[in-house]
Chain A
C-alpha cells in the first residue's frame, strides 16, 4: 500500500450556508468534481430532497450526475435524534427504525458507509444507551446491504475514551465487518478556530460551557487504526501560504500511510462563512494533502 491509495472526496457539509442559498445541489456536486475529487459524501437530512423518501426523478438525477462527473458515493450522514419525542426518551424500537431507514436510503443511493450521529446523555458525550441494542439489531441488515455503520469520533470526544472502547468492544464481541470508526480530523486541532459569519447562535440559556478537552495527539490513532473505516477531513482555514495552522496533516497522513490505510479522506470545511469561500478552501486543502502525500511517497521510495 502506498500514499497513492488514499482517495480524496468532499462532504457537501462543506457548503453549509451556501447550499439552498447561493448554490443548488447541482452546483455543489459539480464543484466537487471540478476540483478533482472522486468521492461524494452527503447528509441525508440536508441534501436528499424529501428525505427519507426521494422521488424517482431525484434518484435518476442523482445517478446520472454521479456517472457524468465520475463521482463515487462514499458516506451518508444520518442522525439518531434521541430527543425527537418531546417529554420522553427514544425507544430501542424507534432507534432501530431510524437506523434501518438510513441504511436502506444509503443502499438505494449507492453508499458504502453510514455515519449515524448519536444523541448523548452526559456532559462528556456518552451516547444514549439505545445505541448498543439498536446497533446490534441492525447489523444483520447492514451486512445484507454491505454497508459499514460508523459513528464519528468528533471533537470534543477523544480517541482514548469510554465511547471508543465501547465501540471497539462491540466489534470484537460480534466479529462484525459492518461496524467501524469514523475519525473526524477536528479531534486533532492544535488551536481553536472561531467561525465568523452566519446567523448568530448560542448553546443554551445558562452559563454552561463546552467541556475543555486536551489536545488529542495523532499518536492516539495507532491503537485504533484497524477499526478506522472512514475519515472526515475536517479543517477550518488554510492560509495564503497553503499552511493549515490547526490540523497536523503531515503527522496524520504519515500514520495512515504507514498503516497501509486505503479509505476515503472526505473533506469537511468548517471555517468562516462567506460566499465562495468553501470552494476556494477545499481546493487549498486538496493541494495541501496531495503535496504531503507526494512527500511521504518519496520518503517511502528512499527507505524501501
Chain B
C-alpha cells in the first residue's frame, strides 16, 4: 500500500552512484500512459532540480523524461510509485529536508487552455543514512 501523500515517506534516499531518489504516488484517480506525464520538478531545501534533468523509473522501466514521453506504450499504474532520480554532486545530509514536488500531467478531456493539470506538495522528509 502507498502513503496518502503524493511524495512517499519510503524511498527518499541518497544513491550510491551520486544524487538522490524521491518516490511519488500518482495523485490522480486512474493509471496513465506514461507519455501523458509532462514532467516533475523537485526542490530540496530551496535547491530546485528541473524536470528535464530528472530520471524516471516505473515498474520495470527506466527512462529520461524525454525517453519516457517517447515510449507511448509505457504505463504508470495507480498502484506503482514512480522513482525520481535526481542528479546532485553531494549526497544529502542525514536528517530532515524540506522536499517539494510539482508534477504535471496532460488530461485529454480538459480544454487545452486549462492544461496541464499541476499537482504540488511539500513535506519534511528524513535521510536516514
Please list the residues of chain A having a beta carbon within 8 angstroms of any beta carbon in chain B. 13, 16-17, 19-22, 24, 43, 45-47, 49-51, 77, 79-86, 117-123, 125, 128, 198-206, 208, 210-211
Complex: chain A residue closest to B110, CB-CB: A203
Q: How far is the CB of B92 from chain A (nearest CB, A)?
A: 23
- Given known contacts A201-B118, A203-B110, what 18 new A-B pairs fall within 8 Å (CB)? A13-B29, A21-B4, A43-B29, A46-B78, A77-B30, A83-B106, A84-B33, A119-B109, A122-B111, A125-B109, A199-B6, A199-B120, A199-B121, A203-B118, A208-B111, A208-B113, A208-B114, A210-B114
Bound form: Cα–Cα A43–B75 in Å: 15
Q: Would you call the interface of chain B mostly helix, strand, loop, or mixed?
A: loop
Q: How far is the CB of B34 from chain A (nearest CB, A)?
A: 10
Q: Are B108 and A82 in contact (CB under 8 A)?
A: yes
Bound form: Cα–Cα A256–B113 in Å: 36
A residues near B120, Cβ cutoff 8 Å: 199-201
Question: Among the interface residues B30, B75, B77, which one has the most CB atoms of the partner chain A within 10 A?
Answer: B30
Residues 56-83 of B, flagged 1 when their CB comes within 8 A of A and 0 if not, give 0000000000000110100101110000
B residues near A201, Cβ cutoff 8 Å: 27, 117-120
Which residues of B from 30 to 73 have beta carbons under 8 Å from A? 30-33, 35-36, 69-70, 72
B residues near A19, Cβ cutoff 8 Å: 78
B126: interface (CB < 8 Å)? no
Bound form: Cα–Cα A51–B76 in Å: 10
B98: interface (CB < 8 Å)? no
Number of A-B contacts (CB under 8 A): 109
A residues near B3, Cβ cutoff 8 Å: 21
Q: Are A84 and B35 in contact (CB under 8 A)?
A: yes
B16: interface (CB < 8 Å)? no
Q: Are A20 and B121 in contact (CB under 8 A)?
A: no
B residues near A43, Cβ cutoff 8 Å: 29-30
B5: interface (CB < 8 Å)? yes
B127: interface (CB < 8 Å)? no
Q: Are B113 and A206 in contact (CB under 8 A)?
A: yes
B residues near A21, Cβ cutoff 8 Å: 1-4, 25
Contact of B1 among A17, A20, A85, A125 (CB under 8 A): A20
B residues near A20, Cβ cutoff 8 Å: 1-2, 25, 78-79
Contact of A203 among B5, B72, B114 (CB under 8 A): B114
Q: How far is the CB of B41 from chain A (nearest CB, A)?
A: 13
B residues near A83, Cβ cutoff 8 Å: 36, 106-108
Given A21-B2, A204-B115, are A46 and B35 neighbors across the interface (CB < 8 Å)?
no
Q: How far is the CB of B45 from chain A (nearest CB, A)?
A: 20
Bound form: Cα–Cα A206–B79 in Å: 31
Q: Are B1 and A22 in contact (CB under 8 A)?
A: yes
Q: Are A123 and B111 in contact (CB under 8 A)?
A: yes
B residues near A46, Cβ cutoff 8 Å: 29-31, 78
Q: How far is the CB of B77 from chain A (nearest CB, A)?
A: 7
Given A199-B6, A199-B119, A201-B119, are A51 and B77 neighbors across the interface (CB < 8 Å)?
yes
Given A199-B121, A200-B120, are A84 and B77 neighbors across the interface (CB < 8 Å)?
no
Q: Are B69 and A204 in contact (CB under 8 A)?
A: no
Given A21-B3, A45-B32, A84-B108, are A199 and B27 neighbors across the interface (CB < 8 Å)?
yes
Complex: chain A residue closest to B38, CB-CB: A86
Complex: chain B residue closest to A123, CB-CB: B111
Residues 13-34 of B, flagged 1 when their CB comes within 8 A of A and 0 if not, give 0000000000001010111110
B116: interface (CB < 8 Å)? yes
Q: Are A17 and B4 in contact (CB under 8 A)?
A: yes
A residues near B118, Cβ cutoff 8 Å: 201-205
Complex: chain B residue closest to A15, CB-CB: B29
Q: How far is the CB of A58 from chain B (nearest CB, A)?
A: 12
Q: Are B31 and A120 in contact (CB under 8 A)?
A: no
A residues near B110, Cβ cutoff 8 Å: 120, 203
